[in-house]
Amino acid sequence: MQQVPSTIGFIAGLTKKGVDNEITFVGSRAELISNWGEPNLTDYGKNYGQGLNCAYNYLGESGSLYFMRAMPDDATYSNLRIDCNLAPTDGSASIAITYVASVNTKAEIETNLAVDGTTNPIAMLYPVGRGDYYNGLGVRFTEYSNPLISGVYVLDIYEKQSDGDDVIIESFEVSFNPQDVDTAGDSLYIVDVLDNYSNVLRADMTLASGAYTSGYDLVGRVYDKEIGAVSVTLTGTPVITDNKQDFSDWENATETGNSTYMVIAKDGRGATIYGWCGAAGGSDDDTINVFQSRDLTGAIQGWLGETTTFDVSETITYEIRKTNASVASAFTSSEPAPLKKGSDGALLDASGDLVTSEAENLLEQAYDGTIDDRILDTEEMYFTMVFDCGYPSDVKTKISTLVQTRRDCVAILDNGDNASVNDALDTRNNTHTFNNYFCALYESYTKISDSFTGTDQWVSPVFHMSTILPRNDRVAELWYAPAGFNRAAIDTIKEARYNPRLGQRDQMYLKQLNPIVKFNQGYVMWGQLTTQAKASALQDLNIVRLVLYCKKAIEGYCRFFIFEQNDSITWSRVSGDITEFLDEVSKKRGLDSFSVSVGATEYEKKRKTFHVDIELQPTRTVEKIELNFYIK
């Protein structure tokens, strides 16, 4: 038997940037900020904007969190499309930038990469997520500094700062040819480079059919290159010869009309000449005529480019392409080319203010599996805690439904922002009427000094629980209570909405509300009840987490015995391993006792089944200490 991860959280939230509508694993605070930005409670307010703060807290104690940024369907990608415009007569090519409106999905990106008349899209650049935020990005392509290397560009990605300046945040060497690699053998293909290394930008060069764009054929694709000894003739009858090449695939044998291919040659210093392909000749077509115009009818046979400095005596390299257009030619402005057309859709109104009904709807869909149904798949996606983060009541209901559907995790909810104990009890009685052992309810809101905004902010008690729970698991075990001074003291609180007295705490206890209490020693979480009203061991959060942990570990272990022999040898092994596992939990003070029974009746054998009956007696926590003094 193997232990299973016990501290994995899930939080859905609203953020300005980042991958959206996709549950994503995050391993550190740095990764969280890099992908979704710094927490800012003022972006969406305390009812909708605490998700990123709770995620940041959680990752301060644990390196295992799933996070989802929720965005509406009508939100759009900021984008920049690079096109090759091919003139219809002489076939000359130029590079242009285009922006596409209302791009909501990756499929629409592929649709907008299709050829349109003489416009041949090369690639679409777009951010990792949708939203207005990404209109602040810009890009610039420049030719690679080594003149001997062709088709490789330096891509600088800019982000507009608060002072209005554009600052480079990422820089990569890229190519629009999927076959290009660097000296270490790693891909230079822009799609691969951005997928693997960029935190903000992506590129696409494929259509829905899987084929590359027509612009790739014109600009990115190299149809062939030198394979033997190469020589160039500049005067007389200008030609290029490669003693191992067969130029017949690239020739225009009649030397009339437009040529399809051109030859681009470089000498050992990087001087470049080029011309369009005419007829092939020589020994086995290893020589091809070169012309100064694509329309070969009446064209002058000869080279264009740096003909006066080109040294035919040096080692010569060449490539066969359809054009020699450079992507960098569209990025010569002193300012980076901006990305445009991104929007937050229905999440914001025309004034840029949050539409609360849409925000609430998005968070509900994030937690009920409508946006990404993988959160309902207990085999693919495993987490043990789901955090509410101060969201409206209907969102809390969706979270409660999620944990009861999955039955392998617990929900950490707040009871709303209540001004007094009586208000908290009324909310519990009339609004948050949860009655199950998968949910726990916490009180009250507290004021903290927020380091990200430099202001004091009122936050949900879940804000503190997102630190307390993973810390509890780190310094102790998950079956220890995440409450009390030893593991749940809170030193970041400046003020609480109210401080319940002893009698009020008893009332809250009867309604399964877990309060933050201020004692002389400081603030502390003073409760760990689930919302189950029926008295049982499952009223305690630590015991529920213990049971779910054991269940997950044993279920995973037993899966390895499917299709094994249904006999006493198998039963004995299963019983022995589970006993050893539970005995280890017992030694770590999780269980007072347990029993394991494994076997199969004759009827169970016929059904190809055996039973594993486990009885647990968890170690209970102390909730009251009776001090008795005897005077003699």
Q: Is residue 630 part of a domain?
A: no
**pLDDT at residue 5 greater than cutoff 90:** no
What pTM was computed for the model? 0.90
Average pLDDT of the chain is: 95
**pLDDT at residue 164 greater than cutoff 90:** no
Examine the domain organization and report whether 404 and 458 are in the same domain.
yes
Here the tokens at position 160 are 């507009």
Residue environment code for 208-246, b if the CB has 16+ CB neighbours within 10 A, otherwise e: eeeebbbbbbbbbbbebbbeeebebeeeeebbbbbeebe
User: What pLDDT score was predicted for residue 88?
Assistant: 61
Domain that holds residue 206: 80-221+327-338
Examine the domain organization and report whether 366 and 511 are in the same domain.
yes
Q: Is residue 2 part of a domain?
A: no
Where is pLDDT greater, at 91 or 558? 558
Q: Is residue 446 part of a domain?
A: yes
Examine the domain organization and report whether 434 and 411 are in the same domain.
yes
Structural element, H or E, at residue 365: helix 356-368
Q: Which of 468, 498, 526 is the last residue of a domain?
A: 526
Q: What is the pLDDT of residues 510-538, one digit of tens each?
A: 999 999 999 999 999 999 999 999 999 99
Examine the domain organization and report whether 505 and 408 are in the same domain.
yes
Beta-ladder partners of 288: 240, 280
Beta-ladder partners of 321: 262
In this structure, are strands 137-143 and 489-490 parallel, antiparallel, or unpaired? unpaired
User: What pLDDT score was predicted for residue 219?
Assistant: 93
Q: Which of 497, 526, 555 is the last residue of a domain?
A: 526
Distance (Å, rounded) from C-alpha 247 to C-alpha 319? 12
Q: Is residue 623 part of a domain?
A: no
CATH number of 485's domain: 3.40.50.11780
Q: Is residue 354 part of a domain?
A: no
Q: Is residue 348 part of a domain?
A: no
CA distances from 626 to 251, 484, 623 (A): 99, 17, 10
Q: Which of 276, 303, 338 is the last residue of a domain?
A: 338
Examine the domain organization and report whether 98 and 175 are in the same domain.
yes
What average pLDDT score do residues 345-364 get? 96
User: What pLDDT score was predicted for residue 9?
Assistant: 97
Detail the DSSP E strand segments found in 182-271.
Answer: 201-204, 224-225, 230-233, 239-242, 262-266
Q: How confident is the model at residue 91 (pLDDT cuts 50, 70, 90)?
A: low
Beta-ladder partners of 20: 69
Strand order across the beta sheet in which 152-160 lies: 166-175, 152-160, 137-143, 337-338
Evaluate whether 3 touches 556 at the Cβ level (below 8 Å): no
Q: Which long-range contacts (CB under 8 A, 24 or more apart) does 334-338 make?
A: 335/138, 335/166, 336/138, 336/139, 336/140, 336/156, 336/158, 336/166, 337/80, 337/97, 337/138, 337/139, 337/140, 338/80, 338/135, 338/137, 338/138
Q: Is residue 531 part of a domain?
A: no
* Number of structural domains in the chain: 4
User: What pLDDT score was predicted for residue 145?
Assistant: 81
For the chain, percent of residues with pLDDT exceeding 90? 92
Examine the domain organization and report whether 61 and 105 are in the same domain.
no
Examine the domain organization and report whether 409 and 271 are in the same domain.
no
Q: Is residue 346 part of a domain?
A: no
Examine the domain organization and report whether 312 and 202 are in the same domain.
no
CA 624 to chain centre: 46
Examine the domain organization and report whether 428 and 496 are in the same domain.
yes
Here the tokens at position 267 are 């000498």
Examine the domain organization and report whether 158 and 245 are in the same domain.
no
Examine the domain organization and report whether 137 and 122 are in the same domain.
yes
Evaluate whether 41 touches 50 at the Cβ level (below 8 Å): yes
Q: How confident is the model at residue 89 (pLDDT cuts 50, 70, 90)?
A: low
Q: What is the pLDDT of residues 368-412, one digit of tens each?
A: 999 999 999 999 999 999 999 999 999 999 999 999 999 999 999
Closest CA to 190 of 164, 219, 152, 224: 152
Examine the domain organization and report whether 522 and 556 are in the same domain.
no
**pLDDT at residue 554 greater than cutoff 90:** yes
Label residue 251 exposed, middle or buried (CB < 10 Å: 0-12, 13-18, 19+).
buried
Here the tokens at position 429 are 């009685």
Distance (Å, rounded) from C-alpha 301 to C-alpha 288? 11
Structural element, H or E, at residue 509: helix 502-510
